[in-house]
Structure 1
């Protein structure tokens, strides 16, 4: 009986490790780190990199998708962020990391439909290899990284996490973490809040 119990515990431990490895990326960037540039395909057929934005002061990198209810709830707010801050030097770049074999609704064809139907004002990129997502350390959709462009090719991570404090209802928002972070950077200050746990669906990782 004792041996059977120990064996069961061993199997459970292995399963737990496999589950964690399958559902969470390796540790990515932290606040104060410098993010590497990337090149990913956009819904318009072009490749997009941060280096394409010569006049940018920074970026709002958002890992999001078509299918997650939380991502859908934040969609209008993401559009509003780009409309508010792109002209101030902080454009949104959205990245869909989900494995399409698990979420067919996140295919490039479906992304094109959604971007067109919703009138996205920002690039919506696919990270098929998931390498960019792993480098950042994103684990949810949506998951936000506010980057400060200190100089050409130097993108400092200033904020990581949630857009605001109301993942479901935009009328209940009382704290705007991403907006506050961008406003602080534009004012030459350090954001008062640099991390807030992202609330969303778990990214669907390739097995």
Structure 2
């Protein structure tokens, strides 16, 4: 009896492990299709506009979230550093503008000007792009990378670094480390990290943003 219980325990452990590993592989290898969104400069921007792109950094952010506000300067710095290597950063606001007036397009324009945001700041008004990425909160970053078939695959998702308030004290620069590994032809050592911020509520949800 004990032997049988032990056998079942081992089987359950193996199944759980395989399911966890399979989930990670599928999530990491998720393909992102081209999308087009309106930028704060009133131009429509799509991934296909960047013909020479090796990949993209996609950061879901917004106007109101205190955590997201802390990263504006870092987004500019990351974009300046990596666009020379054909990696482009796009900031996307997928917040529900019906529920949250402070996430309007006009206030996005004001935010970009006030905070000197130099990266394209795009409005995902129908929230379709956030759903494609399975984005959950702001700020949340993703790296999508072209494979040999020119498909854009998620290679990293999570935090930009591990210190929002004091960037000079950050010990782990998850996003930059992942980009440098990809540029070196390596697999990303840490494809996921934990990130925190304000939840993205999709239209029809009644909960309020923290």
Same fold (TM over 0.5): yes
- DSSP 3-state at the match of 1:91: strand
Change (3 A) 1:151 1:39: farther
Is 2:41 aligned against 1:44? yes
1:58 is displaced (CA, Å) by 0.4
The aligned counterpart of 1:180 is 177
User: How far did 1:192 drift?
Assistant: 0.9
CA distance in 1, matches of 2:108, 2:44: 15
Structure 2: distance between partners of 1:76 and 1:102: 28
Aligned pairs for 1:8-157 within 5 A: 30-150=27-147, 153-157=150-154
Q: Counterpart of 1:41 in 2: which secondary structure?
A: strand
Q: Distance in 1 between matches of 2:35 and 2:148?
A: 16
Structure of greater relative contact order (alpha carbons < 8 Å, 6+ residues apart): 1
Give the total of aligned pairs.
Answer: 179
* CA distance in 2 between partners of 1:198 and 1:179 (Å): 15
* Runs of 4+ in structure 1 over 3 Å off: none
Per-residue deviation at 1:118?
A: 2.3
Q: Flag structure 2 segments of 5+ consecutive residues without an equivalent.
A: 1-25, 205-210
> In the alignment, what sits opposite 1:195?
192
Residues 90 and 120 in structure 2, CA contact (< 8 A), matched pair in contact too: yes
Structure 1, residues 156-207: CA drift from partner, whole Å, max 9, x if none?
A: 1110111011133212211000000100011011111100022111113211
